[in-house]
């Protein structure tokens, strides 16, 4: 029985660490996309209730769990950030459609990122199994070390 090449073991350990770091980055990205999607749905619900408000009074969140009652003079016209620091005025229904489209795009992106994470985990499991087998082989060759 021959001993495993230390350079190969070191290389496998390096790849295992790299894949682990990549998986963490993708997991954080997945969390951010999920949060954006949840925010889009919350905005959609708010826009729908804004259109239904009799006197135009809504709760405006300020942060930290604090809200104020605010009167919206024209609930049928809202400002929508469309990216690159550009904001446009849209009708309430157009804003809802825009947000629904954004939520669908985020959901599709989330699926792709989740697949990437699963692929990385599969590769990590293969590498970990190879490392484990190599270490067990070393222990069988030199059990007293």
User: Which tens digits make up the pLDDT trace of 24-63?
Assistant: 999 999 999 999 999 999 999 888 888 777 777 878 888 8
- Position 10 pLDDT exceeds 60: yes
Please say if the pLDDT value at position 145 is more than 70: no
Number of Cβ within 10 Å of residue 62's Cβ equals 9
pLDDT attached to residue 74: 85
**Residues in contact with 127: Cβ distance below 8 Å, sequence separation at least 6, in sequence order:** 12, 15, 16, 19
Buried/exposed code over 86-123 (b: 16+ C-beta within 10 A; e: otherwise): eeeebebeebbebbeebbeebeeebeebeeebeebeee
Q: Examine the pLDDT at 123 and tell me if it is beyond 80.
A: yes
Q: Which DSSP letter does residue 39 get?
A: H
Residue 3: per-residue pLDDT: 66
* Residue whose C-alpha is closest to residue 40's, from 89, 72, 80, 74: 80
Please answer whether residues 11 and 87 qualify as being in contact, where contact means their C-beta atoms are separated by less than 8 angstroms: no
Q: Which domains does the chain have, with CATH numbers?
A: 6-139 (1.10.287.370)
The three-point CA angle 125-130-131 to 5° equals 95
More confident residue, 81 or 138: 81
Is 116's pLDDT higher than 70?
A: yes
């Amino acid at each position: 029985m021959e001993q495993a090449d230390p350079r190969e073991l070191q290389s496998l350990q390096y790849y295992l660490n790299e894949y682990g770091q990549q998986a963490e980055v993708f997991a954080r990205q997945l969390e951010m996309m999920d949060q954006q999607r949840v925010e889009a749905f919350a905005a959609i619900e708010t826009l729908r209730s804004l259109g239904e408000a009799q006197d135009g009074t809504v709760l405006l969140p300020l942060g930290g769990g604090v809200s104020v009652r605010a009167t919206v003079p024209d609930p049928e016209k809202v400002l929508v950030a469309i990216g690159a620091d550009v904001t446009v005025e849209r009708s309430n229904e157009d804003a809802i459609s825009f947000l629904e489209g954004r939520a669908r795009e985020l959901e599709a992106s989330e699926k792709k990122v989740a697949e990437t994470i699963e692929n990385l985990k599969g590769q990590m499991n293969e590498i970990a199994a190879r490392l484990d087998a190599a270490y067990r082989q070393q222990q069988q060759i030199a059990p007293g070390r």
